[in-house]
Structure 1
Amino acid sequence: MKDQILSAIRQRLQARGLDAYIAYTPSNVFYATGFQSYFLMQWWRMQGTVLAVIPADESVEVGMMVGDFEAKPAQRVSGIEDVRAYRLWPEIRDAEAVQEPLGSGESEMPRPAQFDEGEQDEIVRGLLGDRGLLGARIGTDLRYMLLDSHRRFSALAPEAEWVDFTGDMYELRRIKYPFEVERLRRATELSEAGMRFAVENLAPGMSATDVRHRYVMGVARAAMEDPRYQDYSDQWILPAVGAGVGIGVDSERGAGLQDGDLIKFDCGTTVGGYRGDGGRTFAYGKVKPTAGRLFGVLQEAHDRACAEIRPGVEVGEIFRIAQDHITKNGYPRFRRGHYGHSLGIDTFHEEPPYVSEGDRTIIESGMVLAIETPAYTTDAGAIMIEDLVHVLPGGIERLHRLPHGLTVIS
């Protein structure tokens, strides 16, 4: 599968008249190589420290730069032969090697506090130079590149022309291979297990933070009990209880769960590097009329939008269907910027295209879209109705399986 991904990148480079692509963002390094660098994926300040150089010419091998702590797994997972490592701060040699006495006049080279930028720059210069790319037209993720990285790239290859390739990579990534769909399916299954566990045995006074903790516990329990989820790595959740509609833990400490409150889940898990997204809403004890009415219209809008998703339709048309249904059925002032998005491997799960007004992106078979019709109201409560839908030649497959409808939890 990695060969197919690399071939698609190379074909796009050739179509753009580019000589090479440097994968820079954590997502694109992972997508192009299959290797998830812990340093790069977890810490944004490490951007620019793990790279892949992909020549447009298929006869020229791919090269990679990575810290020495991760060099062996990077080569094993990616299958790239030319992996060049710079020194990071940890000592990684065996105890037997480091206890060997120093010879006369011998000294050990000190390790850097983090890494040596000069050493990194020499590696990048070598990767480009050995492939005849120092004066080439090179695509990279300029939209999300640190200014310092751009300065250093420009200095080490002053005759190169740097071209933004960000949009091209999102276009390539929005059509999912079967293995990607499977990872998103498993991420969805885990998230639904977390939601089911979270709403068991709720009690008055529980906060959104309590719901958060129960969701995390439910996801972990499901992951531990089934080897299908051995590649699970993390989860995220934006819960709400009652009138609390803010985002973040500082907004989750309200009056506590009361009869008639809504419990909103907007959440996902990551399996094999693929981050899911979805949500459901539950009512505690009873459904208040204002909440039931709003929920009903939003559910209808969601159903109508999903029913029209098929290859050949513009994503902007799906937005119009959802928006029109809401405004024509009792909520003429209701507005949202989008009713869904693509997703996959970015740490922020929303990826383009967005199901937004005027977006002319044509829906294609193989896409996976998150379709959502939420509302954040302090009177009715927060509502989330969101499914992942896999676009098939003749319609969609819903990856979420939890029932729709405002389920009452007692």
Structure 2
Amino acid sequence: MALMSVEVCPDDRALRSGRRRRALEQMAAHDLDVLVLGRQANIRYVTGAPQLWVAGTRPFGPACVLVRETGAIHLLSTWDEGVPDDIPHENLYGISWNPVNTMSALRRIDGAASARRVGTDALSPAFAQLLPTAFPNAELVDGELAMRAARRIKTAEEVAALREAIAMAETGLAAAVAELQPGVREQTLAGVMLEAMAAGGVSAPSNQEFAWITSPDHPWRRVNGDHRNGRVRDGDLVAFSAGVLAGGYMGEVGRTWPAGGVGGAPALYRRWDNLCAKLLAACRPGAAAGELLAAYDAAGEPAPPMPLARGLGMGFDPPVVSKHLPLTAAEERLEPGMVLAVTGYVWQQGVGAVFGREAVLIAADGPEMLTSSPHWQG
């Protein structure tokens, strides 16, 4: 069987250039001479290079260096594939088992010796001791604040990338909903969703729960499927959460559909519609993020234990709006260019829950829905 060659390409030039410009602006605002990055989303944001063989969680390592004065990027990479042409080969430094060798590579970077303030997006005890040897005249400070400020506002190119990722997630959602009927298993619905997204070219889901039967007995739990082998029954309300990581961006959408008979579902969906209208009205520029929490109160619904809104982008972006962080939500202001994943959730004893998640762009003239998947209409 012939093997198919898949080329690893960097992000589009306009996309990566706009992000890099925002990062440099925030470096100036936070008075950072150098940024040392180890988190994958931050590295791709700055470089536009999709790194290979970095799946999973791993400790901090200085995998990318951005110098404010020159705009030069230095990247930990042993090959050129996927590295954009504006990062020259001589700016690549290889992987070493000995971190002292890595410090030697960083010391040779133009601007390392003269840097006064160096920000890092994370730090480990070992590198807290080692990095001063690469930047001998610098103070090490928190650089994640600058990256969060850069990433919270999306460029026009980023919004376009998010639209593409959301469209892929909606393809998976539609395929799973089409298979919903009494007797089908939750695992089957999840498999159909993942298969459809993979067929579209994306094999990296952004979440771990894809389809579940909501519980008529507990507001925040899925139904106990042990006694029914995970099979959907007539009248069940089944929640779908489709999420992909496509081109570095998270696309997410959530819906709830009834299987077979609807029972008390229509009244529950009306409550959900009322809640979502209030949530959408709160997504306006200048509003405090806490108004999203207030929307649940105004609708007479308890806020869910999960974040009811969070930034959508290259990972888990700010702001994060949760009932567990009311002061943080009160201090956050929504700004044009933010993209939020907004969750509406209502429950009724004996019926189940209606869950929905929308991607919302905070535009200058108000909220704009980026998700377009249909809802069940009773």
Quickly name the TM-score band, shorter chain normalised: 0.7 to 0.9
Say whether 1:19 aligns with 2:33: yes
Alpha carbons 1:280, 1:386 under 8 Å: kept: yes
Aligned positions, number:
352
Verify the 8 A CA contact 2:343 2:356 in the aligned structure 1. Answer: yes
SS in 2 for 1:343: strand
- Which residue of 157, 170, 177 corresponds with 1:199? 177
The aligned residue for residue 363 of structure 1 is: 334
Residue 45, structure 1, aligned to residue 68, structure 2? no
**8 A contact 2:212–2:238 mirrored in 1:** yes
Partner of 2:187: 209
Is it true that 1:55 corresponds to 2:67 in the alignment? yes
Post-superposition offset of 1:164: 0.5
Which structure has the larger Rg over C-alpha atoms? 1
5+ long unaligned stretches in structure 2: 1-13
The CA distance in 1 between the partners of 2:242 and 2:40, in whole Å, is: 21
- Hey, what does 1:123 align to over in structure 2? 105
Residue 343 of structure 1 corresponds to: 312
Tell me if 1:392 matches 2:372: no
For residues 303 and 67 of structure 2, what CA distance do their matches in structure 1 show? 48
Q: Deviations over 1:66-115 (max 9, x none)?
A: 231xx312543553454233257xxxxxxxxxxxxxxxxxxxxxxxxxx3
CA–CA distance in structure 2, aligned partners of residues 311 and 275 of structure 1 = 22
Percentage identity across aligned positions?
24
Distance 1:344 1:17 in 2: 25
Measure the CA separation in 2 of the matches of 1:63 and 1:297: 51
Cα distance in 2 between the residues matched to 1:276 and 1:300: 25
Q: Say which SS state the counterpart of residue 387 (structure 1) adopts.
A: strand
3-state SS of paired residue (2:192): helix
Question: After the TM superposition, which parts of structure 1 deviate over 6 Å for at least 4 consecutive aligned residues?
Answer: 250-253
Q: Is the 8 A contact 2:204 2:245 kept in 1?
A: yes
1:324 equivalent in structure 2: 298
Q: CA offset at residue 392 of structure 1?
A: 1.6
Deviations 1:111-137 (A, max 9, x none): xxxx3333222212222xx31446621
Compute the displacement of 1:194 (Å). Answer: 0.9
- Taking the aligned partners of 1:87 and 1:253, their CA distance within structure 2 comes to 50
SS at the partner of 1:275?
strand
Q: TM-score scaled by structure 2?
A: 0.82
Instruction: State the alpha-carbon separation in 2 of the partners of residues 124 and 377 from structure 1.
Output: 58
* Secondary structure, aligned partner of 1:286: coil
Secondary structure (helix, strand or coil) at the match of 1:302 reads helix
Instruction: Flag structure 1 segments of 5+ consecutive residues without an equivalent.
Output: 89-114, 225-231, 328-332
Aligned-partner Cα distance in 2 for 1:334–1:16:
35
Q: Distance in 2 between matches of 1:62 and 1:376?
A: 52
Alignment of 1:233-382 (within 5 A): 233-235=203-205, 236-238=207-209, 239-243=211-215, 254-289=229-264, 291-327=265-301, 336=305, 338-346=307-315, 350-356=316-322, 357-358=326-327, 359=329, 360-375=331-346, 379-382=350-353
Q: Could you say which residue in structure 2 is the equivalent of 1:76?
A: 84
Question: If the length of structure 1 is used for normalisation, what is the TM-score?
Answer: 0.76
User: In the alignment, which residue of structure 1 is the partner of 2:142?
Assistant: 164
Larger fraction in helix: 1
Letter in 2 for 1:196: A
Query: Per-residue deviation at 1:30?
Result: 0.5
**Aligned AA for 2:74?**
M
RMSD of aligned residue pairs (Cα, Å): 2.9
**Residues of 2 paired with 1:181 and 1:46: CA distance?**
30
CA deviation profile, 1:205-226 (whole Å, cap 9, x unmatched): 32221111010112233x16xx
SS for the counterpart of 1:44 is coil
CA-CA distance at 1:377 after TM superposition: 7.7
Distance in 2 between residues matched to 1:32 and 1:16, nearest whole Å: 16
1:30 paired residue number: 44
Give, in angstroms, the shift of residue 354 of structure 1.
1.9
